[in-house]
Amino acid sequence: MHDTRTRHMLDAEDVPDMVRDRVEASRDDGSSAGVAEAYDRLAPFYDWLQAPVDVLGGSKRRARIIRGAVGDVLEIGVGTGLSLGLYASSVRLMAIDVSAGMLERTRARAARLNRSVDVRLASVECLPFASASFDTVTGTCVFSSVEHPLRGLQEARRVVKPDGQLRLLEHVRPRRAVLATVFDYLSPVTRRLLATEINRDIEGDVQAAGFEILRVRRSGIWREIVARPVPDARS
């Protein structure tokens, strides 16, 4: 497998000070520390835990989101790399996660697939990349675990190109009142056990972060979201 170190890497001497500050902040920001520790513990079992979800339609949903990615792609919350084999060979892929344990498995999977990918330890809440760097930003089941999802989505908006896309697969708070209440009660439990909150409004957060939703496919608690940055909302 050949190494792809793209122009998005920010450890060169000519990186602007603003972006270098973001790299340092992403290392020092403690907001994602608890999530990282939780997923380090879950990493050896994650694929096994995910398997029932995939059998019940998760694999098809993931494929629909990932196969639409083009050009320079950033996958946020790559986890164990379950999406790696779904990208087109023409895609230039960068992948991040807050969990070193997860990234070990991503690297191993990339080697097995002979998939070129630049893997970085970083938080979506403070991405160490220059603005407008990527044609596509992808994520599958990420923002339920991000400490500050709106901040993370604003960062995704910052690094995607003006004509690029955000492509997400997420689970959200149910629309039915009874189920929504149940999820509200259970969410603190899932947060403690799995570092995942199950009652978030990701669709609303995507729009609040400065994206226009182009398409959304709804199936129960699942959302397949394709969005683009709103031009006048970019910083």
Cβ–Cβ under 8 Å, residues 140 and 83: yes
Over the stretch 140-198, which tens digit does the pLDDT of each residue have?
A: 999 989 989 999 999 999 999 999 999 999 988 878 888 878 888 877 877 777 777 87
Among 234, 12, 32, 2, which residue's Cα sits nearest to residue 127?
Answer: 32
Structure tokens at 133: 């760097």
Name the residue ranges covered by the structural domains of the chain: 17-233
Q: Quick one: average pLDDT of 51-62?
A: 92
Q: Class of 17-233 per CATH?
A: alpha beta
Cβ–Cβ under 8 Å, residues 22 and 127: yes
Over the stretch 35-44, which tens digit does the pLDDT of each residue have?
A: 899 899 989 9
Average pLDDT, the chain: 86
Question: What are the residues facing 211 on neighbouring strands?
Answer: 229
Over the stretch 79-126, which tens digit does the pLDDT of each residue have?
A: 999 999 999 999 999 999 999 999 999 999 999 999 999 999 999 999
What's the whole-model pTM score? 0.84
DSSP codes joined into one string, 106-171: HHHHHHHHT--EEEEE--GGG--S-TT-EEEEEEES-TTT-SSHHHHHHHHHHHEEEEEEEEEEEE
